[in-house]
Amino acid sequence: MDRLSVGLKTALAATTSLALLAGCSGGSSDPEGFKPKITTSVPAATKELKQVTWNLPSGEPNSLDPAASAVESNSTVVSNLCESLFTWDDNYQQQPALATRVDHPDALTYVFTLREGVTFWDGKPMTSEDVAYSINRILDPKLASSWASWAATAEPTIEATGPLEVTVKLKKPDSMLANYFATPAFEVIEKDFTEQAGKAFGTSAKGVMCTGPYKFGSWKPGSSVTIERNDAWWNTDNKPKVGSVKFSFTVDPAAQIAALASGDVQGQWSLPTSSLKQLDKTGGSLLFARSLAPTFLGVLNDKGALSNLKVREALQASINYDGIQKSVYLGTGAPLRALVPPEAWGYGKKVYQDAWDALPAPEQKLAMAKKLVAAAPEAEQRIVLAYNTSSAEEVSIATVVADGAKQAGLNIKLKPLTAEQGAAVFSSAEARKGIDLMMITGYLDFADPAEYYEYFTTTSYYNFAGYSNPDYDKAIAQAFATEDPDGKAAAVVKAQSILSEEKPVIPIATRDLSLYYGKGLAGLAPHQSFLYKPWAAKLGGK
């Protein structure tokens, strides 16, 4: 993944047509009896297994360097190799990992106490120099890691201040910083190994050197990555039961389904919707969790039809949210009232809930949409809606959105993009030329809505349309400077309210995280944080 951009999946055969939703209003979404359930816990694994084959639906990783772990294929593997100073529990609360505690004596200082006795896979002890090196490396502009974003405003210094102590000092308070302690931004790599590997660090030739429950085994480009159990892992209370995990790179949904159903591949995160009914009948574990992932329409050009708020309001009112939920997601998701889904309310929950309840429910209102279109002369101008063909679900949703918009009287033209073209939209102004509106699916790295809302401040890299509202910027700045949970939430919902009124983005839906593993496996519950914690250490036989 890119955390904001669409996932890099191989193009699917999109079969959805405008007729897809024609018969779904008010009816059952599971005519064949498929009834997805949210799972928050499962029985622990009891048996050891020699090897498990696991598929990466987004394709082969391009690196195992934690600095490049903003891509789903990369992080799904790296999360089992390299560890951060803290990790996430199933309530998105941080728990000690390579650090046993962090002290925060003033608004600008964080002092980490490191865990004693931790060693890298080669047996060398983890030192405070390794930790300080790892954090500083992420911030090196030459590395161009997206994880450096946490330091953009705080201008930190990171130093080893004792044998088991690392101190981070900021120039400005930053309430977002602590969220990153359990992400790849604070994952620890061995300094000597990394410097000796040079540009080969993280590649198939050299791999990485970390401390996690699995160590780099082999990487056969175009075929597989294999990780091997680290029997010297410090966390003896959670010894992995699987000897090795072999990752395959099957991106075609039909091939994914066949491999999972036959048992040739034993597990996969992020399943295609087209697989759900079949996998539900295999006797394996098909599990769902509420996710931190929104799908939304982002305005890329505010100079044409979308310059008129009435057009943006009409577009939002024309969307068949109920049909998307039932026929595209098969009940594994929910329409969104705001950009950030409720699962991401990691603090100030009542503040967020009250603000959420005050927003209009996402409902298709074609009559209202038609009135808005009639009152907006700009609505006659063409709106180019781009979407990524790498996801069958997004292809379907784009078709549904265009259908509703055309019924409302809007002049919509669909623009399908390959995975590579879709990714380029997020890095190239040239690639964005001629696109007015982009369908986007992303996810939050942690349960803090401020992370996503920051993308729409005036100076944000991702603010492609140049949306600017001083009150919005002020609210986000206040959120970043406020550590009190309710106070921070109040600042975020103020920004959320402005965004909802001015609509530079139009939320559509959140899709549940999906997980499947075969009937011989046990122990793994779905959770969005699988990208940043050693999920394979929970897996085993039953």
What is the 3-state secondary structure of 460-518? Answer: CCCCCCCCCCHHHHHHHHHHHHCCCHHHHHHHHHHHHHHHHHHCCEEEEEEECEEEEEC
Q: 513-517 and 505-511: which strand pairing? A: unpaired
Cβ proximity of 346 and 92 under 8 Å: yes
On the question of pLDDT at 76 being above 50, the answer is: yes
pTM of the model: 0.89
pLDDT band, residue 3 (cuts 50/70/90): low
pLDDT value for 13:
31
- Full 3-state SS string of 23-74: CCCCCCCCCCCCCCCECCCCCCCCECEEEEEEECCCCCCCCCCHHHCCCHHH
User: Mind listing the pLDDT tens digit for each residue in 211-263?
Assistant: 999 999 999 999 999 999 999 999 999 999 999 999 999 988 899 999 999 99
* CB-count exposure of residue 361 (10 Å: 0-12, 13-18, 19+): exposed
Q: What is the largest CA-CA distance in the chain?
A: 71
Q: 521-522 and 540-541: which strand pairing? A: antiparallel
Place of tokens 């979404």: 29
Q: What average pLDDT does this structure show over 87-95?
A: 93
Q: Round to whole Å and give the CA distance between 335 and 507.
A: 8
The answer for 117, left when phi > 0, alpha when psi is -120 to 50, beta otherwise, is left
Residue 200, CA distances (Å) to 144, 194, 207, 368 in order = 16, 9, 8, 58
On the question of pLDDT at 1 being above 60, the answer is: no
Mean of pLDDT over the chain: 92
Q: What average pLDDT does this structure show over 515-532?
A: 96
On the question of pLDDT at 33 being above 80, the answer is: no
Comparison of pLDDT for 126 and 27, the residue scoring more: 126
- Of residues 176, 178, 486, the one with CA closest to residue 348: 486
pLDDT value for 115:
98
Q: 242-248 and 49-55: which strand pairing? A: parallel
pLDDT value for 414:
97
Comparison of pLDDT for 245 and 391, the residue scoring more: 245
Q: What average pLDDT does this structure show over 450-471?
A: 93
pLDDT value for 290:
95
On the question of pLDDT at 517 being above 90, the answer is: yes
pLDDT band, residue 512 (cuts 50/70/90): very high
On the question of pLDDT at 403 being above 70, the answer is: yes
- Of residues 334, 372, 368, 340, the one with CA closest to residue 356: 340
On the question of pLDDT at 28 being above 60, the answer is: no
On the question of pLDDT at 17 being above 80, the answer is: no
List the single range of 38-52, 117-131, 275-289, 417-431 with lowest mean pLDDT.
417-431
Question: What percent of the chain stands above pLDDT 90?
Answer: 84
pLDDT value for 232:
97
Place of tokens 């009435």: 310
Cβ proximity of 304 and 383 under 8 Å: yes
Comparison of pLDDT for 37 and 215, the residue scoring more: 215
On the question of pLDDT at 536 being above 60, the answer is: yes
On the question of pLDDT at 387 being above 80, the answer is: yes
Cβ proximity of 190 and 209 under 8 Å: yes
The answer for 231, left when phi > 0, alpha when psi is -120 to 50, beta otherwise, is alpha
User: Mind listing the pLDDT tens digit for each residue in 472-506?
Assistant: 999 999 999 999 999 999 999 999 999 999 999 99
